[in-house]
Every structure is written in C-alpha cells, then in structure tokens.
Amino acid sequence: MSDSVLDVQKSLNEARWSFLPVDEAAVARMSQNYGLPEFVARMLTLRGVTPDSVEAFLYPTLQKNFPDPFDMAGMRAFAEDLADAVMQGRKIGIFADFDVDGATSAAVLIRFFRALGQEPPVYIPDRLSEGYGPNAKAFESLKEQGAEIVLIADCGITAFEPITRAREMGLEITVFDHHEAEETLPDANHIINPKRKDDISGLDMLAACGVSFMACVAINNVLREKGYYSDRNLPEPKLKQWLDIVALGTVCDMVPLTGASRLFVRVGFEQISSSDNPGIRALCEVSKIEGAPTVQHAGWSLGPRINAGSRVHKSDLGARLLSSDDLEEARSIAWTLEKCNEERKEIQSAMMKEAIARVEREGLERHPVIVVDSPEGHPGLSGLVAGRLKERFGKPAIVVTYTKNAEGLPEGRGSGRSVAGVNMAQAFIAARNDGLLINGGGHAMAGGFSLEPDRLPAFTEFLYQNFKKQLECIDLTKETVVDGVASVQGAQLEFIKILEGNVGPFGVGNAEPVFALANVRVHSVDVLKEKHIRALVSDWEGGTRMKTMLFGGVGTPLGEALLKKSRQPFHLLGKFQINRWQGRESVEFHISDGVLMMGEETLQESAA
C-alpha cells in the first residue's frame, strides 16, 4: 500500500490520502539535467515522463513533434481522393456533432475549404429533435445543396444504417471520429479514427478536431505534391493559425492532454491571445475574460457557452461562431450563447434537484450504476446531470430523458458518465448489439444512447449486471492520490506559475496536481450563491492568508465543518489556481476534501 499523506486514513469525504511511489533517482537525474526544481521533476515523474521524454514534454514544437498524419490508418488514400476532388472542383459538405468538439471540427474544415476557394454546406443536427449522429434527413439536405462528398466529424463510427443510406443516395462519405470503434466499420468510403482496431499511429489521444486538423494537413500535403498551388500560383493555407480552434475543442472534449493533443493545446493557447478569430474574441468578451484565455477559461467559461446553444437553442451556433470572419456577427452569436447558458443553468439546477431526490428516495445509489429517468427533463442536459450525480455518489451515473424521433414516435435518450476502470462505451455497444438500444456508444468515461421507452427496464438490468462484472475487477477502496504537501506561506504566485509553466496544461492524462495544505487556520467563512463556501485561511502559526473555495459545499460534511470555523487546525486537499482579476494576480485554493484535526486524532477517529 502506498504511503499515507499526513496520516489521513479517513477524511471528511471518507477517503484515504496517499502518495504514489516515485523513482527518486529519476527525479534527481531529471532535476539536474534540465535545471528543474525538485518538485517539478517529481510531478513530471509521477505523470510518467521519463528523462528521455522530458524535452518533448516540456518544450514541444510543431517542427520537432508534429506527428505524420499519414501514420493514421486510411489517411493516405483519403487525402489522395480529397485532393483529386478539390482539383476537380467537386462540392464537399460537412456534417458535425453539436458539442464543442464537433463545432471546432466543423470550423477547422470550413476554414480550410474556404481557403481553397470553396464554401462548404454544413449540417449540424438538432440535439433535441434529431439527436446524436448522422441521419438521412441531413444527407438529403447536404445533397440538395450540391454536396457530392460529405465529411462527418466527431461522430459516425457506429452510424451503420445512415451511412449505408447516404451511399445509396450517391454520396461519398468520410468519417473523422475518435469514439470507440468496433471490429466492423460502417460502409464509408474512408474512415479516419485513431481508435480503429487496425490503427497503430498511437494518436488515440486526439479529439475529433485534432483528427480533422490532421486530415487538413494531409490533404494540403497531397495538393502540394500534385502541384495544385504552384500550377495555379495560389498561396497555401496557413494551417497553424487554426490551432487556437483545435486547442479549444481538445480541452473541452476532455481527451488525454498527452502527445499530439498536448502539442496542439500548448501551441494553440500560445497564439490564442493574438488570435484574429472573431468568434473566440467575441466569446471572451461575453465571458468577461481579461487578458489571454487559459486552459481553465476554455473548460469553465468558453466551452459551456458553446455547448449551451445546442442544449437549449440552436445546434449550429458554435460552428457558425468559430467559422465567422465578421466580428459583429460573431458578437451577436456570442450574446445569444450567453443567454442560452444562463437558461441552461436554471434548467440544470431544477433537473439536478429532482434527480438527487429520486436517487435518495428510491435508493438507486445501492446499484453498481445509477440509472434515473427524467420524464420532464431537458434532453440537452442529461449528460451534465449525470456528471453531477457521478461526483455526488461516487459511481457511474446515467440520466434518461424523453423526446420524439423523426417519425414522431416516443424515444428515450440517455447520457452517462463513468468512473475509472468502468468502460461505459463498451457497455452501451454491447447493449445495442443485444437489441436493447437503437444506438449507443461513446468513450470509456462518457457515452450516449437512444432506446424505445419500454426497453428501459431491461436495459437498466443489463447495465446492473455489466457494471457489476466490471466493478469486480477494480479496487473500490476510496483513495485520493496526493502530489505534495504545501503550506500557505510557501504556495505563492511564483511557485504556481513554475508548476503551470512546466507541467501544464492540465487535463485528462495530465492531471492537475493535488496538494494537501497542512495545519491551516480558518479565519473567516461565508456562503456564496447559497451553495458555495469561501474561507480565508493561513498556516496555523499565522502569516499570509489565502482565499479558498469549496464549490457546492453547502450541506456536505466538509462544508459544514468549515462553516463551524473550528478552533482546531484543518488539513485541506485541493488544487491551486491563479485568480486573474482587473490586472491583478493572486493564488487561491479550490478545496476538494479535508480533515479537522483534534489533537492527535481526526474528528472521524474520535467519533468512532
């Protein structure tokens, strides 16, 4: 068993705090060879960075680290065909998903083909009436607009019937996806997906926007090889300028920030402050972001606003925003998205209260997966509510809402969020193959599906059995891995900037460091918006004071302990953030767990 942190065996969140073992020799060698502070070398080593790979991790460049797009299965044949289509002047259409990854994928493709002199017709399905994935109506619309070739982005890997129908219409279909693929693939002309079983590129960390960008690079290379630009005396598109869009989609889709994804995010956010993309500028304005947008801004401010359009209004707003070259048009769309986001918050809050009450009333948390249907719930918000349920109850959660399909028949649509070690997409695919779902798929940690309403009981029982088997294979001991122990006095701005600059950007696959603040004194506590808790703390001996935040803390054991403002010291667990406001920067601590000390014992141990 790994060493405990501050001897915490059971926190207020009932977790053991532990350190992971680390290769001290590797830490020392990395620190010495690259002139890194010891704590930075330790963080990198804990994240699997070796002395041999540290340079690529710390200083990735497009020149040195950009992967070969032709390493991806099927990319060469696709790029050859698309280059020929461009040279022949054939019309290309785009179908993309309605989330941020889909919107950014569409925007990159639109801008690329626009640079080649073609304005492609675009179809983003309505989240509420059409649901996820391509459909016959969309293909008919694109064909009516003159499309001969359709590029499907951020979906399509399980769209067997719609793609067969599109081929019967005479359309040529290419899929750019990154969701879990089966052995058998749809009958598309080309499928570019690093999760194909025969893809050995090692690029399975890419979001769909990254896959789409790589496809543009491949097409561009083939056009250059064929003399398209030189023969016509045309300038090549400057593809690098669109990495700000790719970075935004990559962060918001929560793919692993390793390898090519990390490269795209690092480079994209370096140039985003000087980006001339009107959509990004307008979105930052309505989000009241001062200075250069950060990865945190993308995940917490920009992404939710883009997603809000499809959740409560029109699904194409995000793609239109990011592909617009007109600042006033972009500002108008951004303000519409801002209003959508406010509406989304209100609806989500009501759905969340209803879902929690239902789970607790019916004891649904006793099952290996929480499945709750919401007859009056908004279909666009089921994934967000599922995520909150997962966080609250510590197990996979699925929320089902109801709508009508294209034929006007009742249809259930669900979204789920999983925990580490439990593959949700595989469960949905298995259920679909058993005839329980109309469609289903996704990622290991998140997925979606549609089903006939009367199939829900059988599907729920299927999930109970499937998840039970998966959970038997993993350790369910509640343990929180801690990167280090810090003091309030020591955690100053320079320390956090060194950490962010070297180890960041943080996300899936490169987790934001978790620190324990040892022996802190709580000086003042207040409640914000009736649910969040703000506390001012210092080291027990005094000195510098730091603002801490416990989001959603009201009513939780940790929140109640903070509100009592005990005279005993706390150990707090969480993550450091740099708060930038009105040109000033300060460090604050976002709390995730804590322990109230009572002499030599924790509060929990003394009560046992």
| pLDDT band with cut points at 50, 70 and 90 for residue 602 | very low
Hey, what amino acid is at 348? Answer: Q
In a domain, 533, yes or no: yes
Residues above pLDDT 70, as percent of the chain: 97
Judged against a pLDDT cut of 70, whether residue 96 lies above it is answered with: yes
CATH of the domain at 385: 3.10.310.30
Mark whether 39 and 71 lie in a shared domain: no
Judged against a pLDDT cut of 60, whether residue 103 lies above it is answered with: yes
Average pLDDT over residues 526-545: 94
pTM of this prediction?
Answer: 0.87
Residue 292 is predicted with a pLDDT of 84
Residue 340 is predicted with a pLDDT of 96
In a domain, 572, yes or no: yes
Q: How many CB atoms lie within 10 A of CB 200?
A: 11
Mark whether 68 and 53 lie in a shared domain: no
Mark whether 146 and 244 lie in a shared domain: yes
Residue 288 is predicted with a pLDDT of 92
Residue 477 is predicted with a pLDDT of 65
Mark whether 257 and 381 lie in a shared domain: no
Place of tokens 């259409």: 93
508 vs 523: CA distance, rounded Å? 34
Judged against a pLDDT cut of 90, whether residue 364 lies above it is answered with: yes
Yes or no: say if 554 and 586 are a contact pair by the CB < 8 Å rule.
no
Residue 405 is predicted with a pLDDT of 80
Of 446, 471, 496, which residue is a domain's last?
A: 471
Sign of the four-CA dihedral 317, 323, 329, 330 = positive
In a domain, 69, yes or no: yes
Average pLDDT over residues 250-260: 94
Residue 599 is predicted with a pLDDT of 53
Mark whether 568 and 428 lie in a shared domain: no
Of 452, 471, 490, which residue is a domain's last?
A: 471
- Beta-bridged to residue 118, according to DSSP, are none
| pLDDT band with cut points at 50, 70 and 90 for residue 150 | very high
CATH of the domain at 171: 3.90.1640.30
Q: How many independent structural domains does the chain possess?
A: 4
CATH of the domain at 564: 2.40.50.140
Mark whether 185 and 275 lie in a shared domain: yes
In a domain, 318, yes or no: yes
Average pLDDT over residues 537-561: 93
In a domain, 5, yes or no: no
Range of the domain at 574: 482-607
Residues above pLDDT 90, as percent of the chain: 78
Q: What are the residues whose beta carbons fall under 8 Å from the beta carbon of 417, sequence distance 6 or more? A: 383, 386, 387, 389, 390, 396, 397, 424, 445, 446
Mark whether 176 and 275 lie in a shared domain: yes
Mark whether 568 and 454 lie in a shared domain: no
Average pLDDT over residues 412-434: 93
In a domain, 457, yes or no: yes
Task: Report which of residues 89 and 584 the model is more confident about.
Answer: 89
Mark whether 541 and 443 lie in a shared domain: no
Mark whether 51 and 68 lie in a shared domain: no
Mark whether 79 and 202 lie in a shared domain: yes
Q: Which two tokens stand for residue 300?
A: 């917490």
586 vs 178: CA distance, rounded Å? 38
Give the residue from 551, 523, 521 showing the smallest Cα distance to 536. Answer: 523
Mark whether 495 and 397 lie in a shared domain: no
Q: Which two tokens stand for residue 210?
A: 């990254």
DSSP string, 57-109: HHS--HHHH---GGGSTTHHHHHHHHHHHHHTT--EEEEE-SSHHHHHHHHHH
Hey, what amino acid is at 98? Answer: F
Give the residue from 605, 606, 607, 608 showing the smallest Cα distance to 10. Answer: 605
| pLDDT band with cut points at 50, 70 and 90 for residue 244 | very high
Of 338, 373, 402, which residue is a domain's last?
A: 338
In a domain, 275, yes or no: yes
Strands 570-581 and 584-598: antiparallel
Residue 555 is predicted with a pLDDT of 87
In a domain, 490, yes or no: yes
DSSP string, 366-408: GSSSEEEE-TTS-GGGHHHHHHHHHHHHSS-EEEEEEEE-TTS
